[in-house]
Structure formats: C-alpha cells, structure tokens
Amino acid sequence: MDTQFIQFIFSAALIIFSCVHAQKTDEHEKFIDELYQTTLKNGATYDLLGQLCHKFPSRLSGSPGAAAAIEWTKTVMQQYGFDRVFLQDVMVPHWVRGAREQAAIISGRQRTELNVLALGRSVATPAGGITAEVVAVTSLAEVAEFGREKIAGKIVFYNRPFAQEFVNTFRGYVATVDQRSKGASTAAKLGAVAVVIRSVGTGDDDFPHTGSLHYAKDSARIPAAALSSHGADQLARRLLKTPNLRFFLKLHCQYLPDVKSHNVIGEITGSENPDQFIMLGGHIDAWDTGQGAHDDGAGTMQTISALRTLQQMGYKPKNTLRAVMFINEENGLRGGGKYAELAVQNKEKHLVAIESDAGGFTPRAFGIKGGDSSLAKIRTWLDYFPDNTITAIKAGHGGADINPLNRADGTPVVGFIPDSQRYFDYHHSPADIFSAINRRELELGTASLAALIYLVDQFGM
C-alpha cells in the first residue's frame, strides 16, 4: 500500500471514530443528565427512607425490627417489579441492650445522672450496678503507664476527644476509635471493673454514641459504656475538683442465641450477560439508638432507588443489576461474609461491587480497591458527573460488606464517598434520625450511584 492510501485510510478511520465517539459521548451525557434530573425531581429515596426510619427505627441484628425491615424491603422491590427478589439466609449474633442504662457521678450524697449507652457487645454489670472510683486517661498507652496499682478496682474513663484536625472525618474516627474498640480489654488486663468512654463523635452535645467493642481473648470481660461529649466534660470537670470521685454504672445487656436472618437481594436481569453482576448495596441493620437514618438506612434506600430510577427511565441493562441489603454490618459482618461465600460457591461473576455506607450527604468521590486498570478507567468517566457531585476517584476503599467479596475472588469494590463533615455528629447515636437527612443531598447520592452503575454497564470495568 502506498503512503497516501494509508494516510487516507487513517484519516477516514479517525473521522469515523471521532463521529462515533462524539455521538456516544452525547448519548451518555444526555442519559446521565436526565438521570440526575429525574432523581432530584421524583426520586424515591427520601420517601423510602422516611418509611424505613419511622416503621422500623430499631434494626439491630437479630431484633424483631431487623426482621420486619428485611420483609419490608423485599416487598418494596417486589412491588417495583424487579425481575428477581430473594433472601439469603445468614445466622447473626443477637446482642440486646435491655432496659435503659444508668450512669451517675457520685459525690458524697450528691448524685448527678449522665446520659449513657452501653457499647455494643458489652456484658452487663451485676444487677445492682457497679460503683467505683474513676481514673481518667486519654489513651490506651496511659492505662499501661498507670499500671495495676492505679487501675485495679477502678472504672477507667477514656476521655480522648475526637481527632478534629483531619478534613476527612473518617481519619479522625480511625484515630480515636481504639478507646471504644479496645479500651475495655486494655483496662481489664490491669484489673479495672468497668470502662466509660467519651463518645467517638464530632458533635458537642448530649448524645452518647455506641458502637462495637472487641473483647480480647486473654482478658476478663468488663462492662463498657459511652458518655456524650457534654457528659464527659462534666465528669472531667468534677474529677479536677474531687479526684477520688465515685461513679455508678448499671447496664443490662445480654447475649441471646444466634438468630436466622437474611441478606435481601433484588435484581434487574441483564439482556446480554444475565450471569454477570453489577452489585450495589448497603446494610439494613443499624444500632438500636436512633433510626439508623444515615447509617445505613440512606445506603440501603439509595440502593433500591438507584435501580428503580434506571428501571423507570426504561433503561435495559446489559448486565444484571443487583441490589443487596446486607445484614449484621454493625456487630458481626456476617451478611457480607455470607454473600462472598455464596458468590464463590455459585461461581458468580461480579463486574463490580459498590457500597454506600458513609451517610446520605452530598456526593464527593468514589474510592476503588482492586485493579489499577479499573481505577484508570473510572477516572476517564469523571466528566460525566455534574459539577459539585463526584469530583474524584480515589485508590483504596470499598466497604465493610463488600470487601469480603474482593478478598474472596478479586472483584473490584467501590465505596461511595459523600461529604464527611456531619457524619460523626450522628453516627451510632440517638441523633441519627430521619430529620437529619436532607432530601436533595440524599437523592444526589442516589443519582451518582445510578450513574456509576450505568457507566459500568455501558463500558465494563
């Protein structure tokens, strides 16, 4: 072939390619634009989340509330006419808080009651409660420094404030949460009789924040509870005046036998690759303190709503879209584990697993774990997302319920990253209720998740 002919072919191919490419880009831009408009105007997420929060506010694993929420989400997806809706059996732990906890500062005959919440998985106090002197510390290391002499027989009070210096509040959470997760066992090894912590939260208020603790195998299990930031400040002030102050704590928690529960799954069948899944999920269980509105009612209802919106827009996916409400994220992670186990057993192929579990706030980014090529590919889609929504694709992330799938078969996992400034004002506390949700922010999250699903369906991973 002569050079001119080659040049001609090359230019022709380039023109054809640019036309096709331009046309495609317009088509996808148009679809995603319409997707955001539809969701902002008529999205179902806010209404669904209102129903979930008001009908089933208490959804801790094994509870009647969790069981009822599972049945309800199944019915919602059936009523939407999803092609297949089914339950996946999961045995879950059944820890209960019991009657309302009590905590009080005791000074002579004076008794000052404080708001308190047992930490998840804590054991109860003896029936009459525990009264003991308090030792205030700010770290696990300080407990070790104090040693048995100062710790034995005492209630250890972990008073480290939330690490506020990070823009990303999840970094602050990680930097502070060890007093909740490991504080009890660290203090028990030196003979402490109970632990109270300053809540791991960003707010300055009177809401205690619960969350799981982990008992070490080689130490006694002692009761542990959270005080609000105001309560912790009050106790700290009183300790300055009266160092040998006594504290009263009464918890009624119980471990009941494991309960059969479920992950709830809804699907819209793919037209070209019905056996290839694009999975989106959140967790249906929540702590029993508020209504689990941001954590993670928002993620589960965004999941259903994202598929619903694509369905209502008449979109026929090439791959099967799968919505998953995981059970037991908060105190066991058994739902995510079971999902991964069955996916491997049934040789299911997932293009991607996406999770929304960081609150119903304004979308900012997606994080991806697994496969550099997927990261590079998703980054080329950034222009499809409207300004002030998804502006970055970050390496590393995923989600607590989907990471087991990544570990089991290498499926790339994507975590939805909304604005994090207010999340830890609500997280695991009585303040995590429906009125803390902003409709537009929540629906923008749904639209961003639906747009990502659409792009993966169109371009693969």
Closest approach, Cβ 422 to Zn ion, in A, equals 15
Q: Is 336 helix (H, G, I), strand (E, B) or coil?
A: helix
Of the two residues 247 and 424, which places its CB atom closer to Zn ion in the complex? 424
Residues 6+ apart with CB under 8 A from 275: 320, 348, 349
Identify the CA nearest to 320 among candidates 252, 274, 376. Answer: 274
- How many residues at the interface with Zn ion, by CB under 5 A? 3
What is the four-CA torsion angle of 90, 397, 355, 433, rounded to 10 degrees? Answer: 90
Closest approach, Cβ 424 to Zn ion, in A, equals 12
Contact 460, 412 (CB under 8 A): no
Q: Is 355 in the site for Zn ion (CB under 5 A)?
A: no
Of the two residues 236 and 400, which places its CB atom closer to Zn ion in the complex? 400
Contact 316, 271 (CB under 8 A): yes
Distance CA 275, CA 262 (A): 22
Closest approach, Cβ 357 to Zn ion, in A, equals 4
DSSP structure class, residue 293: I
Distance CA 289, CA 97 (A): 10
Q: How far is CA 420 from CA 29, 55, 168, 424, in A?
A: 28, 27, 6, 8
Closest approach, Cβ 358 to Zn ion, in A, equals 8
Residue type, 9: I
Buried b (16+ CB within 10 A) or exposed e, 316-325: ebbbbbbbbb
CB atoms within 10 A of CB 230: 17
DSSP structure class, residue 386: P
Site for Zn ion in 241-300 (CB under 5 A): 295-296
Closest approach, Cβ 82 to Zn ion, in A, equals 24
Of the two residues 32 and 298, which places its CB atom closer to Zn ion in the complex? 298
Contact 425, 365 (CB under 8 A): no
Cross-strand partners of 311: none
Identify the CA nearest to 342 among candidates 94, 86, 95. Answer: 86
Of the two residues 283 and 364, which places its CB atom closer to Zn ion in the complex? 283
Q: From the candidates 101, 329, 330, 348, which is the catalytic residue?
A: 329
Stretch that binds Zn ion, among 4-12, 111-119, 350-358, 449-457 (CB under 5 A): 350-358
Closest approach, Cβ 228 to Zn ion, in A, equals 20
Closest approach, Cβ 339 to Zn ion, in A, equals 16
Q: How far is CA 323 from CA 3, 72, 350, 453, in A?
A: 54, 14, 13, 11
Distance CA 353, CA 439 (A): 25
Please, where are the H alpha helices in 80-139? none
Contact 452, 404 (CB under 8 A): no
Of the two residues 100 and 214, which places its CB atom closer to Zn ion in the complex? 214
Token digits for 440? 């537009």
Identify the CA nearest to 92 among candidates 229, 259, 245. Answer: 259
Stretch that binds Zn ion, among 65-73, 266-274, 352-360, 381-389 (CB under 5 A): 352-360
Of the two residues 190 and 286, which places its CB atom closer to Zn ion in the complex? 286
Identify the CA nearest to 365 among candidates 398, 386, 390, 384. Answer: 390
Of the two residues 70 and 104, which places its CB atom closer to Zn ion in the complex? 70
Stretch that binds Zn ion, among 37-45, 205-213, 356-364, 411-419 (CB under 5 A): 356-364
Closest approach, Cβ 101 to Zn ion, in A, equals 22
E-strand stretches of 165-318: 194-198, 224-227, 246-250, 254-268, 273-283
Of the two residues 299 and 370, which places its CB atom closer to Zn ion in the complex? 299
Residues 6+ apart with CB under 8 A from 126: none
Closest approach, Cβ 69 to Zn ion, in A, equals 14
Of the two residues 335 and 412, which places its CB atom closer to Zn ion in the complex? 335
Q: Is 357 in the site for Zn ion (CB under 5 A)?
A: yes
Q: Is 432 in the site for Zn ion (CB under 5 A)?
A: no
Is 113 a catalytic site residue? no
Residues lying near Zn ion in the complex (CB under 5 A): 295-296, 357
Query: Which residues are tagged catalytic?
Result: 329
